[in-house]
Amino acid sequence: MTEQYELFKIEYIDRDGYICIKCGVRQPENNFTTVHYENGTVEYKRTCKTCVKKQSVIRNELKKKHPYPDDDYRCPVCDRNKEDLQKTEQRRLGMWYLDHCHNTGKFRGWLCHHCNTGLGALGDSIERVKNALNYLKSC
C-alpha cells in the first residue's frame, strides 16, 4: 500500500496544512486550490498556488517559442491526427498539449490529451513506462 501512495504522491491532511508535491513545503490549506463537488465535498489540489503559477509562466513562455501544430500534425506517441482526436466531439480531447520537462522546463513537443496525461500519470519516468510495457506484454 505504501508504494501506491509514493507513486501518486499522496500526502494526508493534518492540522498544519499540506505538503506541496512539487516544492515539498508544508503550507496552510489556503495556499492550495480547491475543487468543490456537487455532493458538498471539497478536495484540495496537492500543488501549491506558487508552483502552479511558476509552471504556468514556463508553459506560456514555451508556447511563444513553439507554435501550435499545423492541421497535418500527428501525436508522436500514438500517431493520431487532429481528425482522429476530434471524433469524440470533446473539445479538450481534440487539442494538442504542450509537453515539457517539469524539472528542467525544456520543451519536448506537442501531444494529444491522452498521451500527455498518460506520461504525466507515470511521472515522466522511463522506468515506469518500461514497467507498463512489460505489464502489457505479459498479458
The enclosing domain of 64 has a CATH number of 3.40.1800.10
pLDDT score for 14 = 52
Identify whether 63 is part of a domain: yes
Tens of pLDDT, residue by residue over 81-120, are 988 888 877 777 778 999 998 888 899 999 999 999 999 8
43: enclosing H helix or E strand = strand 42-48
User: Which structural domain range is residue 1 located in?
Assistant: 1-48
- Residue 97 and residue 31 share a domain: no
- Residue 65 and residue 122 share a domain: yes
- Residue 29 and residue 71 share a domain: no
Cβ contacts of 113 within 8 Å, gap of 6 or more:
85, 92, 93, 95, 97
Task: Kindly report whether the global pTM for this prediction surpasses the value 0.85.
Answer: no
What cell does 57 get? Answer: 509562466
Span 66-71, average pLDDT? 93
How many Å apart are CA 14 and CA 44, to the nearest integer?
Answer: 12
Identify whether 53 is part of a domain: no
- Residue 74 and residue 116 share a domain: yes
Q: Which amino acid is at 36?
A: H
Q: How many domains does the chain have?
A: 2
